[in-house]
Copies of this chain bind each other. A is one copy, B any other.
Amino acid sequence: MKTFLDCIPCFFRQALDAARLATNDESIHEQVVRDTLDLTKDMDLHQSPPAMSRHIHRRIRELVENPDPYRPLKQRHNQLALELYDLLEPMVRNSENPLETAVRLAIAGNIIDLGVKSSLSDSDINKTIQQSLNDSFNHSAVEQLRADVDKAGNILYLLDNAGEIVFDRLLIEQLPTGKITAVVKGAPIINDALMEDADAVGLNKIVNVIDNGSDAPGTILETCPDTFRSRFEQADLIVAKGQGNYETLSHIDKDIYFILKAKCPVVASDLDCPVGQMILIKKCAEAAMCCRPEYNPSA
């Protein structure tokens, strides 16, 4: 997905939020905004929004002299989500359609995203879970995912954020774990999950986990080393979680299931759905065009 002009105000808001989270020093907040102006003026709108965010957050980490300012928050979110796991795991197992329930909860987990919202109360999380279980959803896409997973020999599951990965674990547990490799980021970027987060929530005990060698908030293949790009190339199926992965991979000619909540108006517009819609769509290798099942709010 290219960068839309509406993304520009958001770059500044996110940069400011991140700067304030990283330090109380107001002179650094101002420097972050000024550097974001500098970075943005040369931007190529044909690149995806995470390409710009990557540069902005690199600069923030340099200015605050902290390689991972989101680390305490990621740890808190992992902990919070793990407490929910014990409640949600039997809910998935005992549901009528465990795969659909797990997909719905994986999307619920996508709301725990500091890139879009900088604070989130615990009651918000519970409300999001309930809503995700009850909202309209495309059942046929779940069955298509089930069939494609059955056919695939090896599957890459591209993870999104810390905390959220506990919800991904619920979904991964409903899939043939032997076929799956879960992918974290190669270096700190916002609250995206790293290997230490996968370890913290026990994902490494269930599936093989690798990192993509990149510090982009999404999957920008050009920023990943050859080893990861080969793995991506050779995978029969990709499951890509969250807005960042959608923004960076929606144009890629490969079988990819995108699982996300369309949180911002730009992504919702690109997906031709209302803001807040739970999304499970497949993009096909046969055509660059999206062949996602129709959005059907009454389904």
Binding site for B on A (CB under 8 A): 5-6, 8-10, 12-13, 16, 29-30, 33-34, 37-38, 40-41, 45
Complex-state Cα separation, A215 to B12, whole angstroms: 27
Complex-state Cα separation, A12 to B33, whole angstroms: 13
What are 20 A-B pairs with beta-carbon distances under 8 A? A5-B16, A5-B29, A5-B30, A5-B33, A6-B16, A8-B12, A8-B16, A8-B33, A9-B10, A9-B12, A9-B13, A9-B16, A12-B12, A30-B45, A34-B41, A37-B37, A37-B40, A37-B41, A38-B41, A41-B41
Query: How close is A224's CB to chain B, nearest CB, in angstroms?
Result: 29
> Inside 8 A of A10's CB, which chain B residues have their CB?
9
Q: Which residue of B is nearest A12, CB measured?
A: B9
Chain A facing B: main interface SS: helix
Query: How close is A203's CB to chain B, nearest CB, in angstroms?
Result: 35
How many copies, total?
2
> Inside 8 A of A13's CB, which chain B residues have their CB?
9
Ordered nearest first, which 8 A-B pairs have the shortest CB separation? A9-B9, A9-B12, A9-B13, A37-B41, A8-B12, A5-B33, A5-B16, A8-B33
Query: How close is A204's CB to chain B, nearest CB, in angstroms?
Result: 39
> Inside 8 A of A8's CB, which chain B residues have their CB?
12, 16, 33, 37
> Inside 8 A of A41's CB, which chain B residues have their CB?
34, 37-38, 41
> Inside 8 A of A37's CB, which chain B residues have their CB?
8, 37, 40-41
Additional pairs, 4, CB under 8 Å, beyond known A5-B16, A8-B33, A9-B9: A8-B12, A9-B12, A12-B12, A37-B41
> Inside 8 A of A5's CB, which chain B residues have their CB?
16, 29-30, 33
Q: Which residue of B is nearest A32, CB measured?
A: B5
Complex-state Cα separation, A17 to B150, whole angstroms: 48
> Inside 8 A of A34's CB, which chain B residues have their CB?
41
> Inside 8 A of A45's CB, which chain B residues have their CB?
30
Complex-state Cα separation, A54 to B33, whole angstroms: 20
Complex-state Cα separation, A33 to B23, whole angstroms: 29
Query: How close is A138's CB to chain B, nearest CB, in angstroms?
Result: 31
Complex-state Cα separation, A16 to B10, whole angstroms: 13
> Inside 8 A of A12's CB, which chain B residues have their CB?
8-9, 12
Complex-state Cα separation, A12 to B5, whole angstroms: 9
Complex-state Cα separation, A16 to B8, whole angstroms: 10
Complex-state Cα separation, A40 to B37, whole angstroms: 8
Complex-state Cα separation, A12 to B11, whole angstroms: 10
> Inside 8 A of A38's CB, which chain B residues have their CB?
41
Complex-state Cα separation, A189 to B274, whole angstroms: 34
Complex-state Cα separation, A280 to B40, whole angstroms: 40
Complex-state Cα separation, A38 to B37, whole angstroms: 8
Complex-state Cα separation, A154 to B183, whole angstroms: 72
> Inside 8 A of A6's CB, which chain B residues have their CB?
16
